[in-house]
Amino acid sequence: MLTNEIAQILWPVFALLTVGAVLWITKSIYRDKRRERLILKFADYTAVLTFYMEKAYNIIHKDKILIYSLEATKLPDKEFNVYSREFIRLVFKLLGPVLTSEFLKFFGDYDTFTFYLAEFFNDRYEGDEIRKASVDHLMESDLEVPEELKGEPTIPTVPGQTPGR
């Protein structure tokens, strides 16, 4: 039987359980609303992220990679990895802590988000138009024979020696 004394002891426990249940339900509703907001605003989120990734890539490209592009050479793997990490750090810096936190929630965790950023960097590097144009130009210039070499082949001679000996 429930006496008045037992009811007074159990009342705070019941109140805590009720508050806990309400908080849990509220958190679940908030999490569902946040997921729904992320899905509905997917284009907006990706546009913001793409803007900052483009900006970071342009900075890294201009400061670190452009010389390789102009020389039509490929980055060494070690430097590619270093520049890829610098790119990721720069994206985080440009986004700031609030947007970084939002995108970590958007992607689920740090590893997934950094993998996405590294893939963007890799795709942009592989599609480097400056390097492609430089390679094409080098290949075309390698195929062209200068006019002075198109005539009779000349045999270099040592002064005082007759040709053919």
pLDDT in tens, 70-110: 666 777 788 889 999 999 999 999 999 999 998 998 888 99
Please, are residues 103 and 95 in contact by the beta-carbon 8 Å criterion?
A: yes
pLDDT of residue 92: 96
Higher pLDDT, 164 or 116: 116
Domain locations in the chain as residue ranges: 41-140
- Phi, psi for residue 110 in degrees, rounded to 5: -65, -45
Rounded CA separation 103/44 (Å): 12
The better pLDDT of the pair 39, 131 is held by 39
Sign of the C-alpha dihedral computed for residues 104, 107, 112 and 118 taken in this order:
negative
Could you give the C-alpha distances from 49 to 57, 99, 153, 164, in angstroms and in order? Answer: 12, 9, 60, 70
Longest alpha-carbon distance in the chain: 130
In the prediction, which pLDDT does 77 show? 82
